[in-house]
Structure 1
């Protein structure tokens, strides 16, 4: 089974840490997190990423620019705006994307 790679960008450190813990709790999911979009861009260009999660406290223009950057560099990446709602919602958002791509 494929191991899915996640990049999480969020400016609220406690929430970023929670998202990292939630994603990394799944055997076939691996996440790295960033609070700085430039470092996240560098990582994104140097690594294979399946999902980009945009989390709390990101300015609107940064969110739009980062999503556009990711999709331009790798059009197949899934960008998910996740601003809360608990681990069940996050899991559902990810599984929904996997299902729509025929990967479930």
Structure 2
């Protein structure tokens, strides 16, 4: 199975650290995290990303602009807004999105 590449953008460092740990706990998932959207955009342009997770404390306009940027540059990317609910919810959100993507 191919390793899925994740980019996580969040302004709350503690939550970003937790999300990185949770995603990277899956042997088939690899995540990098950013608290700065410009650094995240630079990384995104240089790497094939399967999923983008948007976490807490991101301003609405940044969330919309970053989502548009990602889809414009990698149309197959999945963007998930994740604002809490525990590790079980995060895993379910990711797996549901993967399921929907496979059905296309």
Counterpart Cα distance in 1 of 2:83 and 2:43: 22
Matched, 1:101 2:97: no
Give the corresponding residue for 1:62: 62
Counterpart Cα distance in 1 of 2:60 and 2:100: 27
Give the superposition deviation at 1:43.
0.2
Give the corresponding residue for 1:88: 88
Aligned-residue CA RMSD (Å)? 0.8
Structure 1's unaligned 5+ residue stretches are none
Secondary structure of 1:58's match?
A: coil
Structure 2's unaligned 5+ residue stretches are none
Secondary structure of 1:53's match?
A: strand
Q: TM-score, normalised by structure 2?
A: 0.97
* TM superposition outliers: structure 1 runs of 4+ over 2 Å: none
